[in-house]
A and B are shown apart, each in its own frame.
Chain A
Amino acid sequence: MELENKKIKIQAKNLNVYYGAKQALFNINLEINQKEVTALIGPSGCGKSTFIRCINRMNDVIDICKVDGSIEIDGSEINDKKVDVVMLREKIGMVFQKPNPFPKSIYDNIAYGPIIHGLAEEKNQMDNIVETSLKKAALWDEVKDRLDEPGTSLSGGQQQRLCIARALSVSPEVILMDEPCSALDPIATAKIEELIDELKKSYTIVIVTHSMAQAVRVSQKTGFFHMGKIIEVDSTDKIFKNPSNKMTQDYITGRFG
């Protein structure tokens, strides 16, 4: 299948994650292909967010969280002590369930990342980054005349695209999205999905979603998590037409619990 000849961008090997004494992920092995969308699905509390937070080491900020095992990006270990976490997060952008613009202007929301990463030296360079990022996030036309207004003055769907633009502003390679559309209406959702289609040409995308239909629409590969374990990973087509595992089938057909 087409999955075979894709380059692996992210590889999790024997990944175990604990919150204090409670284990949240059990021996996760998962390959994520470059310039492709991988969807992660599974019931609430199964560890999807925990998993994607491992990819940019966001779990580091949770005191009781301990991560064991390996995650390689382009073949190099990110759990290594030597890895500069700031650099890592520049490479791996993240978009959350609730749009969370900074309490700053639309412009500054985008400029913030490039400033801390030292990506622009002059004002016109920064203007350029802001414009391209907003264009890539399909928001430019809607905000170009109000860049000074607060990010929080935008609608929910626009805020989410602002957050995507913010993630894109530091030229990441990977974009992690944790239920990016769960607070959005169908039109805003369609815009984000259209954007995902566009972005996958240049970026590797991992999306957590509770919408089976969304997983089918946007992703090429799907992983089903259940109680901290990966139950099945396959092409999205296979998972939703003819999954191999009965638990996967029960979950996606609404036969759980």
Chain B
Amino acid sequence: MAGTGHTVKSYEEEMQSLNDNLVKMGSLTETQIAEAMAAVIKVDKDSVDKIVKNDGSINELRSIIDEQITTVLVKRAPMAVDLRITLSTLKISHDLERIGDLAKSIAKKVKPLPIDLPDELIGSLRRLGDLVQKQLKEVLDAYLNKSKDKSIEIWKKDEQVDDLTNLAMNEVANYLQSDKKNLEIATHLLFVTKNIERAGDHITNIAESLYYLIEGEYLEGARPKGKPIDS
């Protein structure tokens, strides 16, 4: 978006490498969320360990990005768009790392699940998971294209994530009501649902950071429902 490159080539290369690492991190996170959701839907316990292990690469990239950003700040004292790119990359990388953590937590809940969960319950989790995956893919695309309109669209769509979260919660409640012995499993499923929703919140944060990067201003108003991000 800045048009011509920096006069100092190594500065240009540093910013490029930062961008590349963030994109790499985004794509790893996308895979992790997709695999964690697939594991839940199919109650595929075999994939859990791999998902847990792969979270390490996301964390590693986060540390690399932190380090690179510190270097850019010290060496270049970035201004204007460079400053905004640097700050947004820092924030986005942290949100991606959190999404990665949530994918890992979701996967860990798969092991105790029974294979005969009700179709409606699985269906509601799938719809929620699909939407969040779509949001994540779109926000990463929007980052690549520096699309302001997309960032607003994604930000607004978090409301749908909330709606699907409520539906999934209801299904979990039904499942619990049908047999009180389901309590432990239902608790796991509530965590899964909550974690997907939180991933959605981090995606909203990314949309906000992206908007700031592009516009140099913060998105008007609070997030759609004004709910605080996970504590």
Contact = CB atoms under 8 A, between A and B. Distances in A.
B62 to A, nearest CB: 25
A124 interface: no
Interface in A207-257: 212-213, 216, 239-243, 246, 248-250, 252-257
Given A241-B216, A246-B3, A254 B80 contact: no
Q: Which of B2, B78, B79, B83 has the most CB of A within 10 A?
A: B79
A254 B6 contact: yes
Secondary structure type dominating chain B contacts: loop
Contacts of B216: 241-242
A243 B80 contact: yes
Contacts of B138: none
A253 B79 contact: yes
Contacts of A242: 80, 84, 215-217
B83 A241 contact: yes
Contact of A255 (B3, B77, B83, B215): B3
Contacts of A250: 2-4
Interface residues of B, number: 20
A212 B77 contact: yes
Task: Give the interface size bracket for A toward B.
Answer: 10 to 19
Contact of A249 (B5, B11, B80, B215): B80
Most buried by B among A249, A250, A255, A257: A255
Nearest to B8: A254
B11 to A, nearest CB: 7
B80 A252 contact: yes
Interface in B199-231: 215-217
B122 interface: no
Contacts of A255: 2-7
Nearest to A246: B3
A213 B11 contact: no
A121 to B, nearest CB: 51
A50 to B, nearest CB: 25
10 contacts: A240-B79, A241-B83, A242-B80, A248-B80, A249-B80, A250-B2, A250-B4, A253-B80, A253-B82, A255-B3
Interface of B: 2-8, 11, 76-84, 215-217
The 7 closest A-B pairs by CB, nearest first: A242-B216, A252-B79, A253-B82, A249-B80, A255-B4, A240-B79, A254-B6
